[in-house]
Structure formats: C-alpha cells, structure tokens
Amino acid sequence: MADKQHDPPVRQLDRRVVERYVKKGILDEKEYHRILKALPDLAEKATRIETEFQTEGEIGPAR
C-alpha cells in the first residue's frame, strides 16, 4: 500500500473500492488476495433470512 496510515483497513473495503485501489496502485492485488485467504469461514454462524417480494402497487403480505 502507498500510505498505510491513511488508507482504510483492507478487510473493510468494498469490492468496487478494492478494484479502484488496485488500478490506482494504492493496493497490491496479491496482498489483498492473501488477506482474503486468511479470513476465517463464518458461514456456519450465518442466519437464514426469509424475504417476500411484491409487485409494485401491492399492499401488505403476499400470502
């Protein structure tokens, strides 16, 4: 990274920001991939969320 004191933590970056930083030379792509590989797998801690979609103009649950 160019200036580690002023850049946000890599793990808090959105994918689009990472792409922009790589293009500008602020972030090294290999360093970013190493950080991603080091992250723990938290899939088993995830919670399932159910969502209902409605067409535009409908009011209330679609049950």
pLDDT in tens, 7-19: 567 667 788 988 9
Contact 10, 35 (CB under 8 A): yes
Residue numbers of the domain that contains 19: 1-37
Domain contains 48: no
Q: How many domains does the chain have?
A: 1
Domain contains 26: yes
Q: List, for residues 21-44, the tens digit of each pLDDT value.
A: 899 998 888 988 888 888 899 999
Domain contains 46: no
Domain contains 2: yes
Nearest to 17 by CA among 31, 39, 2, 9: 9
What pTM value is reported for the model? 0.53
d(CA 42, CA 58): 37
Domain contains 14: yes
Domain contains 60: no
Q: Name residues whose C-beta falls within 8 Å of residue 48's C-beta, 6 or more positions apart in sequence.
A: none
